[in-house]
Amino acid sequence: MGTYTVRDVERVLRLPESTIRGLIKAGFVTPARGPRREYRFTFQDLIVLRAARALIEANVPRRRINRALKDLRQHLPETMPLSGLSISAIGDRIVVRDGHAHWQVDDGQYLLGLDVSMEGGTLRVIDRIEQPAPRSQPQEDWFAKAVELETTDPAAALKAYARAVEIDGSDGAAWTNWGRLLHEQGQMREAERIYRKGLAQCEPDALLHFNLAVLLDDLGRVPEAIEHYQHAIELDPNLADAHFNIARLYESLGKEQHAIRHLGQYRKLMNRR
């Protein structure tokens, strides 16, 4: 099976482009880039995107979403099985079924029911209507609200990210997006402050280190940028962009062997996609 464009994802998953890009920014998937730098999604990316959206809509806590999606990706086949897939909530477990086999993925009360199949060579992802587990104290998902607001009201999005980390200071995705949005607006010092505060409050997070490294890189603080790219790679050796960026910085410093090693790793990772 080949890869999918943003338009394909919109058609198959019935998600607007703004939502797709918001989920990418949140770090739920890292699609490859085509020859014109366009996003190219794998079959696994599509399923993870749809599952992420369903879990966000169910107000599942951010850390549990990240853990569930990581486990889900590990158990998904690389291509669509002839028997199709069924992804559902059973009791307090997410279960992935492939024909007669099944895997249990993570813990938690989730609202998730997806049937995935191939019909006439076309991938179909169908929602099954399921009732969410009762929530004693429903809370607004400020992270999801912030992602939606980024393209229409960035100032409100910043406030929503601030509210998200106020509720859960260990939410690495919220700190990452908050800092990135500040960076995009040219608020470099404030972005650095947010990234460093997030690193202090969260468990080790590759994307937080990576985004801080990009910021320091833009500020010309090369040794510090390299340090944080290295931290990102230690936490996630498959973070291709970190290998590419650090290779470029090593090359600028005349450290050719370091540059060649990371550039080779970058190419190896890109060839897998």
pLDDT tens, 31-71? 888 877 888 888 778 777 777 776 666 666 667 667 777 76
3-state helix, strand, coil in the chain (%, to 5): 55, 15, 30
Domain boundaries, the chain: 6-127, 149-272
Q: State the pTM of this model.
A: 0.55
Q: What is the pLDDT of residue 82?
A: 44
Contacts of 67-73 with CB under 8 Å at 24 or more apart are 67/106, 68/94, 68/105, 68/106, 68/108, 68/110, 69/28, 71/105, 71/106, 72/47, 72/48, 72/96, 72/105, 72/106, 73/44, 73/48
Cα–Cα distance measured from residue 273 to residue 270, given in angstroms and rounded to the nearest whole number: 5
pLDDT for 202-214, tens place per residue?
A: 888 888 999 999 9
Q: Fold for domain 6-127?
A: Multidrug-efflux Transporter Regulator; Chain: A; Domain 2 (1.10.1660)
Q: What is the pLDDT of residue 246?
A: 95
Q: Which CATH number fits domain 149-272: 3.90.470.10, 3.40.50.1100, 1.25.40.10, 3.40.50.2300?
A: 1.25.40.10
